[in-house]
Structure 1
Amino acid sequence: MEIGKILERIGIDDEPSSINPTFENLKKLQESYILNVPYENLDFIFKKEFSVNILKIYEKIVCNNRGGICYESNTLFVYLLKYLGYDAKMIFAKVEDTSYIGANYPHLALLVTIDNKDYLVDVANGRNVRVPLALDEDTIVESEDIQYQIQACANGEYALMYNYKSKGWQVRYQFSTKKKSVKDFSCVFEDKKNYEQFSSYAPLLVTKALKDGRITLTNDMITYKENSDKRVWGISLENRAEVLRDYFNIQL
């Protein structure tokens, strides 16, 4: 695997040796990843098994210009961060909204420590916070009309909170700071019954952030929103491949 090719895939042309493990560079890396690599679950739809093998993830996202689900994108991103000298680790999160994929499907996120301060980092959760969030601060950030904030929980864990258009704070997902590895979630894919259950349940979702908006493809609809411009139109199964090519640069 070539680190330079990973950086190129996420739209960064800096030499790896010039990227110091600072907070500002972490913000740049996270935003660049989100703007260039979509969250997409096409392999669910095609009944093709996902892999937690970093070489296969690299081939899919970097070599084949695909996107990925949280297990893939965050695994690739933590590999990149560690190579660049960041103190980064995988953590598990429990997503509060289970309408997309079900209650027992754990979300993989990242925790990055800089100058003894822990930051939640996530490049693969669809419409989500785009910058690192410190666990011990009350910082509120906003993207796509949604405010985000970290809140400490009574059980020693943390919650990523969101407030959509000032409708009130809700839990996006709850997480602990305990370090995880690919072995901890390989059972999601290796258990055939478990995998088939989730792959059958999940609707098609391909979504990529824009600088000031988002473009999203579902089973029969595409939504494009940028600044105050929002358009929604239907698509057919026959032209789905064309939409993936033209709007997400994905060629299957």
Structure 2
Amino acid sequence: MDDYLARIGADRPQRPDLGALRVLHRAHLGTVPFENLGIHLGETVRLDDEGLLDKIVRRRRGGFCYELNGAFALLLRHLGYTVTMHAARTWGGDGYGIPFDHLALQVHLDGVPWLVDVGFGRFIHHPIRLDTTEPQPDPGGVFLVTPHDNPAGAPDLDITRTGGEHEYRLDARPYELPDFAPTCWYQQTSPQSHFTRSLTCSRLTDDDGRVTLSGNRLIRTTAAGRDERTLTDAGALEAYRAEFGIELSRLPVVAHPATPA
């Protein structure tokens, strides 16, 4: 776990409080990329503790939600935080997706539940409260948490960004990491999964913008706007190294390219 803290450039906190959680959350987003490269390099996503830490800490890679939030939960628990894992259904433009489509975390501090998520790409930069419906400003936007009735028990929580932009519907019930294995397998193998149909590697930058490499397209977004460049194959390999610290011997090839309509 000392290596994990060094990986994200964070000091070991003196106590498991909100201030330290905010620092750890932001540091993770700025150093460990949201990426699906392994799917297109023929790798298998492992959802066991050793596999998560080997990829993110020792091999200095990123991952998608199951990996990033799964590993972050290990770190937070080691540091003394009370963490539960929750399933979410992500918004797809015309409705919410399949159950267990996303893995997010709750951290419980002094009776307050906080949404923690380092595995959803462009989203919250810091934890937000789940026990209020008041708007919550964040560098990533202004977020709202709205209860949604669930006949199975406690209400689900809809996470939206001010302006009506839906993010996901969070299941209030806690789960364990193996519960996500079937959907994780679907996401890395199905031709219908957006993770098998495109490449992405993205992280927050120091100025709260983003740098993203999508195939050979390098995209930078800042408060001033968006810049996009198409790189050569050699340039893309160098960008993986320089922007994300990822050393690759070859470029990933999309597993199931989307068929034009």
Q: Same fold (TM over 0.5)?
A: yes
Deviation at 1:56, TM superposition (A): 1.3
Matched, 1:157 2:151: no
The C-alpha deviation readout for 1:30-89, integer Å capped at 9, x for no partner, is 111111111010011113211101111111111111111111110110011111111101
Indicate how the Cα distance of structure 1 residues 31 and 120 shifts in structure 2: closer, same or farther if over 3 A, else same.
Answer: same
Indicate how the Cα distance of structure 1 residues 158 and 105 shifts in structure 2: closer, same or farther if over 3 A, else same.
Answer: closer
1:49/1:189 contact within 8 Å kept: no
* Cross-structure match for 2:17: 22
1:133/1:149 contact within 8 Å kept: no
Q: Percent identity?
A: 26
The C-alpha deviation readout for 1:164-210, integer Å capped at 9, x for no partner, is xxxx212200011211112101123557x972433774310100001
Correspondent of 1:243 among 223, 234, 239: 239
- What is the identity, as a one-letter code, of the residue corresponding to 1:46? L
Gap regions ≥5 residues in structure 2 = 249-261
* Cross-structure match for 1:187: 182
1:94/1:106 contact within 8 Å kept: yes
- C-alpha distance in 2, partners of 1:83/1:153? 32
Deviation at 1:19, TM superposition (A): 3.0
Q: What is the DSSP-based 3-state SS (H/G/I as helix, E as strand, rest coil) of the residue aligned with 1:243?
A: helix
* Cross-structure match for 2:44: 49
Q: CA RMSD in A?
A: 2.2
- C-alpha distance in 2, partners of 1:98/1:54? 34
Q: What is the DSSP-based 3-state SS (H/G/I as helix, E as strand, rest coil) of the residue aligned with 1:152?
A: strand
Matched, 1:219 2:222: no
Gap regions ≥5 residues in structure 1 = none
- C-alpha distance in 1, partners of 2:194/2:165? 27
Correspondent of 1:228 among 224, 238, 241: 224
The within-5 A match list for 1:1-252 is 3-14=1-12, 18-97=13-92, 103=98, 106-137=101-132, 138-144=134-140, 146-155=141-150, 156-163=155-162, 168-189=163-184, 195-197=189-191, 198=193, 201-212=196-207, 213-228=209-224, 230-252=226-248
- C-alpha distance in 2, partners of 1:130/1:216? 16
Count of residue correspondences:
239
The C-alpha deviation readout for 1:86-139, integer Å capped at 9, x for no partner, is 11011001000279xx75661000011111111111001000111111112214
- C-alpha distance in 2, partners of 1:177/1:111? 9
Normalising by structure 1, we get a TM-score of 0.87
Indicate how the Cα distance of structure 1 residues 83 and 200 shifts in structure 2: closer, same or farther if over 3 A, else same.
Answer: closer
- What is the identity, as a one-letter code, of the residue corresponding to 2:149? A
